[in-house]
Amino acid sequence: MSPSPARTVDVRGPRFAAWVTSAVLAVVLLTASGWLAAAQAVVFAVGAAAGLRSAPYAVLFRTLVAPRLGPAREREPEAPVRFAQFVGFASTAVGAAGYLLGVPVLGALATGLALVAALLNAATGLCLGCELYLTVRRARPVRTA
């Protein structure tokens, strides 16, 4: 039995999600809202755990934006993007905890890091979480049969 082909995503989807995420995280920083940070952490968790087809911003992209853009001309593997969703989850969960537990400096720092990564992805297409995924994959020892 051959392994199933790797899932791929339209490269425009993660960039759209990064723009939405950037807006949400900017509001979190401006308002110090731990609950909004927690909501964004849940969005990341869904993408990381259930896959990008289930991620809320991916659903928005697929139903509202993609039909107006036409067919995807470029696709990328889903695995690095899902890993990036996990990294985003970890950062925003720490941010939410900081704000909700009365440690606003921790909340702002963790949220600010997530915002920088999201803005970088949105503006340039460079996904720091995806790059981290590739670095970790290269660092793992190669298994021989």
Instruction: Tell me whether residue 112 is in a domain.
Output: yes
Domain membership of residue 135 (yes or no) is yes
> Residues in the chain with pLDDT < 70?
1-5, 145
Residue 64 within a domain: yes
Residues 62, 17 contacting (CB under 8 angstroms): no
- Residue range 7-44, pLDDT digits in tens: 999 999 999 999 999 999 999 999 999 999 999 999 99
At 135, the amino acid letter reads T
Query: Given this model, what pLDDT does residue 2 score?
Result: 43
Residue 7 class from Cβ within 10 Å (0-12 exposed, 13-18 middle, 19+ buried)?
Answer: middle
Contact 26, 17 (CB under 8 A): no
Specify if 101 maps to a domain: yes
Within a domain: 98: yes
Tell me, yes or no, whether 13 lies in a domain.
Answer: yes
How many Å apart are CA 98 and CA 109, to the nearest integer?
9
Q: Do residues 56 and 39 touch, judged by C-beta distance below 8 A?
A: no
Domain count, the chain: 1
Residue 126 domain-assigned (yes or no): yes
Query: Within a domain: residue 99?
Result: yes
